[in-house]
């Protein structure tokens, strides 16, 4: 290679690097990525403090990563190349059997946050032990990587989630633990997790509800009590979005009670609705948002059950397809997502008159949640 050719390569490299950076800066900022269903980083404010402590540099790097021109296309290209190279994983996601994309959750369960969350939950439950007339339940649902381990690629070695779940079971008050792993594992050959999304399916939530209802002395429903309706066969979820490639489509099914239930739904104090399903979400990327329209700080369902039972469900999005089974069994169902709730939880409990408490998270979501410190207030 002669000197002239070398300078051409260097010049091309400089143009690519600075050209894409300049294009990123000149392109209007995007507020949200519909593909990833999340807010994107905005240009950070420049202050003397942020410059001196390194915050600006860190935030600006995140900003460039999120706002990089043709970002979604580059992510998809990278994943396609990795698949052509026969790689078994990308971005901490396994390419598993039967078209499943399964998150590894590397480091999630061994972090300081994961250990702290166990202590915070245990302390909260000990404080309220005996407070709820019908008791407390803790349902931490294992992720697909744990239950669908037979579908993982050869030599895959993710962290054993059951070790983390065992730590939670040991820490929480006796009699409060609900073993979701025991319920789901016998059904692992059924579609209890989406192939392209991190959530469990409505079928999995139904199995868990049946077992939980039996524990709590509630009516144990059969599938014949519901019209099982497929509302979409074109769902590609959060895991697919991380990879940026076209994959198989998932189906979302609703379990619609054949009993004539009347209830009102209020989210964050907004005007009341008469359905727990937001069908408009089926026209968006976030089709799982059909359940309640997504996540809110506080969602209140008031029913005609007239049995004196009121339940507080402290949850993440895994509970969104579980909660629709509750209205026929409780006068009031309050769904509390503490990630978005900024008032005192103790006051909510004191004023709520709840007879039941259920904590329902997925295992990775629980381990990573930075808002559990709110349980102390």
Rounded Cα gap, residues 343 and 268, in angstroms: 12
Concatenating the DSSP letter of every residue in 274-321 gives S-SB-GGGGGSS-GGGGBTTS--SEEEEEES--SS-EEEEEE-GGGGG
Q: What are phi and psi of 335, to 5 degrees?
A: -100, 115
Tokens of 74: 């580059």
**Dihedral angle over CA of 42, 43, 46, 50, nearest 10:** 50
Domain ranges of the chain: 3-69, 106-376
CA–CA distance, 93 with 71 (Å, rounded to integer): 19
pLDDT value for 41: 66
Enter the DSSP assignment of 355: S
What sign has the CA pseudo-torsion 313, 317, 323, 325?
A: negative
Which DSSP helix (H) or strand (E) runs through 15? helix 3-26
pLDDT in tens, 269-322: 887 888 999 999 999 999 999 999 999 999 999 999 989 999 999 999 999 999
Say what the pLDDT of residue 224 is. Answer: 97
Per-residue pLDDT at 270 = 83
3-state secondary structure of 366: helix
Is the pTM here over 0.75, yes or no?
A: yes
User: Mean pLDDT in runs of 10 for the chain (377 residues)?
Assistant: 55 53 58 58 70 69 61 53 65 94 97 98 97 97 98 94 98 98 98 98 98 97 97 96 88 95 89 90 96 96 94 98 96 98 97 97 98 97
| Sign of the dihedral through C-alpha 313, 315, 317, 319 | negative
N- to C-terminal Cα separation, the chain? 69
| Exposure string for 197-208, b = 16+ CB within 10 A, e = fewer | bbbbbbbbbbbb
Residue 105 in contact with residue 158, Cβ under 8 Å?
A: yes
Beta carbons within 8 Å of 21's beta carbon, 6+ residues apart: 64
Q: How far apart are CA 198 and CA 36, in angstroms?
A: 12
Q: Please name every residue paired with 193 in a beta bridge, in sequence order, or none if there are none.
A: 200
- Sign of the CA dihedral with 141 first, then 143, 149, and 155 last: negative
Note the pLDDT of residue 192: 98
């Amino acid at each position: 290679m002669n000197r002239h050719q070398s300078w051409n390569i260097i010049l091309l490299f400089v143009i690519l690097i600075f050209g894409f950076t300049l294009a990123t800066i000149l392109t209007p900022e995007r507020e949200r990525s519909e593909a990833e269903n999340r807010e994107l980083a905005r240009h950070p404010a420049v202050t003397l403090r942020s410059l001196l402590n390194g915050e600006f540099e860190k935030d600006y790097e995140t900003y460039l990563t999120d706002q990089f021109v043709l970002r979604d296309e580059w992510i998809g290209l990278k994943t396609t190349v990795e698949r052509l190279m026969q790689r078994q994983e990308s971005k901490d996601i396994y390419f598993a059997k039967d078209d499943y994309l399964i998150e590894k959750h590397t480091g999630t369960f061994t972090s300081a946050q994961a250990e702290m969350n166990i202590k915070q939950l245990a302390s909260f439950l000990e404080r309220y032990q005996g407070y709820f007339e019908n008791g407390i339940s803790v349902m931490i649902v294992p992720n697909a990587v744990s239950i669908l381990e037979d579908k993982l690629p050869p030599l895959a070695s993710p962290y054993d989630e059951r070790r983390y779940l065992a730590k939670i079971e040991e820490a929480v008050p006796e009699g409060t633990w609900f073993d979701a792993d025991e319920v789901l594992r016998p059904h692992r050959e059924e579609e209890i997790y989406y192939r392209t999304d991190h959530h469990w399916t409505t079928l999995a939530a139904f199995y868990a509800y049946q077992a939980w209802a039996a524990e709590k002395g509630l009516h144990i429903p059969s599938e014949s009590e519901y019209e099982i309706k497929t509302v979409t066969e074109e769902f590609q979820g959060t895991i697919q979005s991380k990879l940026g490639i076209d994959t198989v489509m998932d189906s979302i099914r609703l379990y619609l009670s054949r009993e004539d239930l009347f209830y009102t739904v209020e989210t964050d104090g907004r005007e009341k609705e008469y359905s727990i399903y937001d069908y408009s979400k089926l026209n968006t990327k976030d089709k799982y948002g059909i359940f309640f329209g997504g996540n809110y700080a506080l969602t209140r369902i008031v029913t005609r059950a007239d049995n004196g039972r009121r339940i507080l469900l402290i949850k993440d999005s895994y509970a969104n397809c579980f909660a629709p089974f509750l209205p026929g069994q409780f006068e009031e169902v309050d769904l509390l997502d503490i990630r978005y709730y900024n008032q005192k939880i103790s006051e909510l409990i004191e004023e709520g008159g709840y007879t039941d408490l259920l904590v329902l998270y997925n295992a990775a979501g629980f381990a990573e949640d930075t808002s559990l410190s709110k349980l102390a207030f």
